[in-house]
Amino acid sequence: MILLYDGSFEGFLSLVYEVYYEKLQVNSIVKKMPETLLFERFHEIFTDEAKAGKVLDAITKHFTKEQQHTIFHIVLCDTRDYEMALLEYLRIGFKNKKELRNINNTNLFYIQNLEKELLCLVHKMYGFTRFEELEDGTLYAKIETKFNIVPFLGEHFCKRLGNIPFIIHDVKRALAFVKNNELREIRSIASFDAPIYSSEEEKFKALWKSFFKAAAVESRYNPKLQKSWVPLLYRTYMSEFMDDI
């Protein structure tokens, strides 16, 4: 049976509920209705907060803190088909917790690697995110990333930037982490006006560029290596690469 759900975390939890209580045999899980359907039965899951809440309670009871983190992390890998593997992860966890560490199981190994991939991306973006200063002193960063890592970046920069207000804008997902004094939240951004930058912004961008250029050793020139460390897809908003894109 093919299951169709809306792609949200609550939606996925509702799906888990139905799989358990309706004893569904699942062959695949999709976020969008496929264009051709041949002989397959398919079943649409409607997001239901009560059902999702029950599953969430069960997860907090059954899984260790670390395993719960893994589950939430996997859901952030929104461009990947993680649903079948995560369903299997939950199934194994509810049945026999010890077995969750068995990386000989393809699904579990997949989950472990996917989480690693997410955390690698997070680590890269800790470094590759670039802020620009706005007129009122707010720092503003645009990002476009494979997975939804705004929550990680928000927390990281809350620690780093002291009392400076900042915004991290995920352009593709139309989300933003906003920090201002006590306020910390993730908002959806429907429309967006181009901000006004501080008068010093261009100066520091130029200084950074000249530092970046001066720091390279000519006799070790190796753009291939550079590209393997900073693939082009990360460079969109990095000021030091702006000219060569």
Q: Where does this chain bind other proteins (CB under 8 A)?
A: 101-104, 106, 109, 113, 120, 123, 126-133, 139, 141, 157, 159-164, 200, 204, 206-208, 210-226, 228-230, 238, 240
> How far is CA 108 from each of CA 60, 74, 88, rounded to the nearest angstrom?
19, 12, 8
Helix (H) / strand (E) containing 18: helix 9-21
Helix (H) / strand (E) containing 58: helix 49-62
Other CB atoms within 10 Å distance of the CB of residue 93: 22
Q: Which is nearer to other proteins, 41 or 123 (CB)?
A: 123
- What is the chain's length? 245
CB of 134 to other proteins, least distance (A): 12
CB of 101 to other proteins, least distance (A): 6
Q: Which is nearer to other proteins, 18 or 115 (CB)?
A: 115
Q: Which is nearer to other proteins, 12 or 241 (CB)?
A: 241
Phi/psi-derived region of residue 162, left when phi > 0, alpha when psi is between -120 and 50, beta in every other case:
left
Q: Which is nearer to other proteins, 62 or 209 (CB)?
A: 209
CB of 124 to other proteins, least distance (A): 8
Measuring CA to CA, which residue among 59, 60, 89, 61 is closest to residue 74? Answer: 89
CB of 236 to other proteins, least distance (A): 14
Q: Which is nearer to other proteins, 30 or 164 (CB)?
A: 164
CB of 54 to other proteins, least distance (A): 31
- Residue 176 has φ and ψ, to the nearest 5°, of -145, 140
Q: Which is nearer to other proteins, 46 or 109 (CB)?
A: 109
Measuring CA to CA, which residue among 103, 138, 142, 113 is closest to residue 125? Answer: 142
CB of 223 to other proteins, least distance (A): 6
What letters, b where the CB count within 10 A reaches 16 and e where it falls short, cover 160-183? eeeeebbbbbbeebebbbbbeeee
Compute the distance between CA of residue 182 and CA of residue 165 in angstroms, rounded to an integer.
Answer: 10
